[in-house]
Structure 1
Amino acid sequence: MSLPWEYCATVCILICAVGYAFSRQRAKAPLPPGPARLPILGNALNVPLESQWLKFTEWARIYGEIFSLSVLGHPILVLNSANAIEELFEKRSTLYSDRPHIPLAGEMVGFSSIPALEHYGSRHKKGRKLIINTISSHNQTGIHRIQLNKASLLLSRLISSPNDFRLHSRWFVAAIVFQITHGQQIENFDHVFVKLAEQVNEDFSHVTRPGSFLVDTIPILQYLPSWIPGMGFKTLAKVYRERFLRMCHEPYASVKEQVAKGTAPPSLAARLIEKNSNPTPEEEWFYKTTVMQFYAGGADTTVSSLETFYLIMSLYPEIQKKAQAELDRVVEPGCLPDFGDRANLPYLDAVLKEIYRWNPTVPAAVPHRVTQDDVYNGFHIPAGATVIANTWAVLHDPLLYPDPFRVNPERYLKHEDGLNPDPRRFAFGYGRRVCPGKVLAEDTVFTLVACVLATLDISKAVGSDGLPIEPDVQYTGGTISHPGPFQCTIKPRSAESAHLIQSVAMHVDFMD
């Protein structure tokens, strides 16, 4: 059976276009070095779809701090050193702050509407400003109260069902974020908005992995009929888009209804609705997507950091004991840690730094796009190229972090070769694309880590044979990376700790 002539013509045009783009790229030498390429396909077959940062780090040992790839004629540059990232993404941020065109995640699903993925411009700047102002210093007192209240409830849940520590971590983050953004009180993880947001986060991680979908390299594929073999991504996009739109519309509509009734608790969405009672459709869509960014852009990464905390404490009991000893010296007896104690907890701060460094939540930062031709160290960087910062490589560079695969908080406190750099410089993105919710994420992680260590002991789980179960240190390979399944034992440090947990949980005003 012969194929329709329209399909054959389209395929011929695509092949010619890719060949032309490939020949133009060749003429733009010298690009940075990189692995050998196949004609037309380039490196399409040797870039892994999972845990790309590990392969990038392997290639960096061969080709240096910056190397280039080509996928069907499209140039991709990978930065593997702090110097290269700082020079391009920080010092030359006017050229490197755009996002690449990602047809599936962006247009087909809709993620290009949120500040994290939209192109650099006035709308992106406005969205970032709105997020930053929401969590700025004049609002921090109220936000800190929310975080500490949720931490008090979290501790009670941890001693009631310690095996569910990962689920409790997700509830903790969701409860904080939804109260800030929508005034919603999230009593459990089964809340409809939380379950929807979690699914959207999984969708985001799936569709933003570079190279995962051919349509991201050949955008015209999105316009081909769905019945053609290989068009399964269109069905996927439809399902993901429906969830994305629900996440944007439904929580916002709930707040809008409360505002109309005069019953809306304080929240970002309520302030936006009250401030502009008759917005244009474009303005309201901007409000919805920016509010949605709070959860989509920060909740999953924060949860990953909290999961890494439990894993580290299971593996390094000596670190746990040192952090607990510091908390015991600083925190007033009979109280939980609060933000007033933070400046007097240098060892705990060093532990937090290692949580962000040891296994970063976004090991290969969300890609940037260079908007005009540039030159770095004698290498040509063509306009329109995708540029990826390999955060994993930087945070495991033995020149910056000796013995990088070992968790060692002392590396930030004392070291014969000088203090190691603060990994938070790299863990939250770069330049004009640095995470606008960075302060909120850091404060949330501090709250949980400090309160848990002050009252609870974390250790390896014990098997039926009475022997400790060694955690398997494996991380997922998507855009946002999480520890694989592991177990641990969580118990109150003492009878006094158990009483404190029960006491503070009883006195928390859930509606505060």
Structure 2
Amino acid sequence: MFRLAILCLIALLAYRISKVLRRLPVPPGPRGLPVFGSALEIPKECSWLTFAQWAKTYGPIMHVSCMTSSIIVLSSREAIIDLLEKKNAVYSDRPIMTMAGELAGLKRLVAFAPYGQRHREGRKLITGALGPRKAPELHAIQEAKTLVFISRLTESPAEFRTHIRWLVASIVLEATYGITIDSYDDPFLLEVEKSLAEISDVSAPGAYLVDAIPSLKYVPEWFPAASFKRIARETRERSYALEDKLYQAARRQLDRGSATPSFVADLLKHNYDPTQDDHTLYAEVAVMFYGAGADTTVSSILSFFLIMATHPDIQRKAQAEVDSVTSGRLPICSDREDMPYLGAVLKEVHRCNPVLPLALPHYVREEDVYAGYRIPAGSTILPNTWAILHDPELYPHPDEVIPERYYDCSNGDLNPDPQDFAFGYGRRVCPGRTLAEDTLFIVAASVLASFNITSVVPLKGETIEYRGGAISHPDDFACGILPRRST
């Protein structure tokens, strides 16, 4: 009888709490259209700018209705810490992304997977492969490839964009699969580039109406206006085929006895008889190394070139620091802690133009209350990283490149490390952060030691803008890359 009374009391309290929650308002946001909400107002490109503009009217916690979907956009550091960090058990899931996750098949990958055992297993494999014990092997690959990159940049500086894409691809593919890529025309690389572009397109928030109306996924591909079904199918088929092709190439090297140390080779060597499920997990995790790190790191390096060309005073200060540490040799990864000014420059690279302006979406598992607002269960949470990194209350003069802003740490509320925002949040923070940061450092330091970057010229229009769906890239530009020994 006593237990029954307790259960009844709990049920009564839960009922009353639910009634109170239902009376609380959701966060403010644009009214949108009847039925459609704001689904038709979210642009396919640069949606982070639209969300940032709306936040000026509706505040840093904003509700955006898209048909049957409820989206909560977070545009403040405080809200992100309070929800995604402090309540990570509730906010660590991924929403059902109909276009990218279901139709294009990306929910199998660690970054898009629901929070659970499979996701944790994948992250554990990645963090093990990129931990301190593996650092010497990874640094050796990064330094060797960067040396070739500097040579190629000297021979044909006008092709710097192609050289950058080759460099990042060659580092990731060798570290992951033991595959050596000699040129940008390599078939592996061309396939990967096309697949990445498609993945970025299908994952862009608000880009496809099927994400707002999930029932559209049942429309046949031949139906008028159903081109999204063809796009999703082609993306899915290409990503699956590429995933298997890369993984099998690494396995064949191991079978022939010609495998160099790599993520896949190490897994297979230490697991002599993996099950088919193991092979599937290994292949899915391996392809994430490239999918998560290649395109984003290319964008960061391009931003570094752009900042150096447009801020010669910053470039000279960074070069002086590199010269004082290296004394005529090329930099190595272990020089990083001795180059604090360059480290501050790279923080500004992450802050001014974050490669993921909107972090990958989170999902609320259960009803929550925050700042007097109701956060409905099942809502998609979009952290607007771009808005945070351009908040003048956090970063005074946010549109200016000021590496020195990170020198004064006396006020903990000003100029926090942008890298704490640029790589995601809570239990979904990017496990490949170390690899990306080390690659950006060794490339930046080596370029500064070898070249002067000058004379930016936009190749599209009169200015250089940042565009993209999920990943932000600068418009094409040309710049002078002059060997320092000749100046």
With the shorter chain as reference, the TM-score category is over 0.9
Please tell me the residue identity of whatever aligns with 1:310.
F
Question: 1:483 aligned to 2:474?
Answer: yes
Query: In the alignment, which residue of structure 2 is the partner of 1:446?
Result: 441
Question: 1:396 aligned to 2:390?
Answer: yes
How far is the alpha carbon of 1:470 from its aligned partner?
11
Q: Kindly provide the CA deviation profile for residues 205-237 of structure 1, in whole angstroms up to 9, marking residues without a partner as x.
A: 100112211222222222222222121111111
Are the equivalent residues in 2 in contact too, given 1:357–1:423 (CA < 8 A)? yes
Question: 1:137 aligned to 2:128?
Answer: no
Question: 1:62 aligned to 2:54?
Answer: no
How far is the alpha carbon of 1:277 from its aligned partner?
4.1
Query: In the alignment, which residue of structure 1 is the partner of 2:354?
Result: 360
Aligned pair partner of 1:80 in 64, 75, 79: 75
Query: In the alignment, which residue of structure 2 is the partner of 1:280?
Result: 275
Are the equivalent residues in 2 in contact too, given 1:460–1:470 (CA < 8 A)? no
Query: In the alignment, which residue of structure 2 is the partner of 1:431?
Result: 426
State which drifts further: 68-77 or 218-227. Answer: 218-227
Are the equivalent residues in 1 in contact too, given 2:72–2:379 (CA < 8 A)? yes
How far is the alpha carbon of 1:282 from its aligned partner?
2.3
Aligned counterparts of 1:137 and 1:172: Cα–Cα separation in 2 = 23
Query: In the alignment, which residue of structure 1 is the partner of 2:266?
Result: 271
Aligned counterparts of 1:439 and 1:250: Cα–Cα separation in 2 = 26
Aligned counterparts of 1:109 and 1:278: Cα–Cα separation in 2 = 31
Aligned counterparts of 1:337 and 1:484: Cα–Cα separation in 2 = 29
Question: 1:472 aligned to 2:459?
Answer: no
Question: 1:315 aligned to 2:306?
Answer: no
How far is the alpha carbon of 1:189 from its aligned partner?
1.2
Q: Kindly provide the CA deviation profile for residues 127-160 of structure 1, in whole angstroms up to 9, marking residues without a partner as x.
A: 1111111010011011111111111111111111
Structure 1 ranges of 4+ moved more than 6 A? 415-418
How far is the alpha carbon of 1:358 from its aligned partner?
0.5
Q: How does 1:47-446 map to 2 (within 5 A)?
A: 47-333=42-328, 335-414=329-408, 420-446=415-441
How far is the alpha carbon of 1:27 from its aligned partner?
6.2
RMSD of equivalent CA atoms: 2.1
Q: SS where residue 43 of structure 1 aligns?
A: coil
Q: Kindly provide the CA deviation profile for residues 330-363 of structure 1, in whole angstroms up to 9, marking residues without a partner as x.
A: 2133x11113322221111100100000011010
Please tell me the residue identity of whatever aligns with 2:485.
S
Distance 1:485 1:196, change over 3 A: same
Please tell me the residue identity of whatever aligns with 2:345.
V
How far is the alpha carbon of 1:416 from its aligned partner?
9.2
Please tell me the residue identity of whatever aligns with 1:377.
A
Are the equivalent residues in 2 in contact too, given 1:154–1:172 (CA < 8 A)? yes
Aligned counterparts of 1:219 and 1:388: Cα–Cα separation in 2 = 18
Query: In the alignment, which residue of structure 2 is the partner of 1:13?
Result: none
Aligned counterparts of 1:416 and 1:92: Cα–Cα separation in 2 = 28
How far is the alpha carbon of 1:414 from its aligned partner?
4.0
How far is the alpha carbon of 1:39 from its aligned partner?
2.2
Aligned counterparts of 1:436 and 1:417: Cα–Cα separation in 2 = 29
Aligned counterparts of 2:375 and 2:64: Cα–Cα separation in 1 = 12
Please tell me the residue identity of whatever aligns with 1:331.
T
Are the equivalent residues in 1 in contact too, given 2:70–2:380 (CA < 8 A)? yes
Q: Kindly provide the CA deviation profile for residues 62-105 of structure 1, in whole angstroms up to 9, marking residues without a partner as x.
A: 11110101111211000000000011110000011111101221
Are the equivalent residues in 2 in contact too, given 1:93–1:431 (CA < 8 A)? yes
Aligned counterparts of 1:110 and 1:199: Cα–Cα separation in 2 = 16
State which drifts further: 474-483 or 253-262. Answer: 253-262
Aligned counterparts of 1:210 and 1:410: Cα–Cα separation in 2 = 34
Are the equivalent residues in 1 in contact too, given 2:39–2:209 (CA < 8 A)? no
Aligned counterparts of 1:302 and 1:423: Cα–Cα separation in 2 = 15
Are the equivalent residues in 1 in contact too, given 2:64–2:70 (CA < 8 A)? yes
Please tell me the residue identity of whatever aligns with 2:437.
E
Q: Kindly provide the CA deviation profile for residues 185-217 of structure 1, in whole angstroms up to 9, marking residues without a partner as x.
A: 111111111111111111111001122112222
State which drifts further: 415-424 or 313-322. Answer: 415-424
TM-score, normalization: structure 1?
0.88
Are the equivalent residues in 1 in contact too, given 2:24–2:372 (CA < 8 A)? no
How far is the alpha carbon of 1:480 from its aligned partner?
0.3
Distance 1:28 1:483, change over 3 A: farther
Q: Kindly provide the CA deviation profile for residues 364-401 of structure 1, in whole angstroms up to 9, marking residues without a partner as x.
A: 11111110000111100011100000001100000111
Structure 2 stretches lacking a partner, 5+ long: 1-20
Query: In the alignment, which residue of structure 1 is the partner of 2:483?
Result: 492
Q: SS where residue 243 of structure 1 aligns?
A: helix
Please tell me the residue identity of whatever aligns with 2:481.
I
Q: Kindly provide the CA deviation profile for residues 19-72 of structure 1, in whole angstroms up to 9, marking residues without a partner as x.
A: xxxxxxx96650000111322211122222221111111111111110101111
Please tell me the residue identity of whatever aligns with 2:320.
A
Q: SS where residue 490 of structure 1 aligns?
A: strand
Query: In the alignment, which residue of structure 1 is the partner of 2:17?
Result: none
TM-score, normalization: structure 2?
0.92
Q: SS where residue 77 of structure 1 aligns?
A: strand
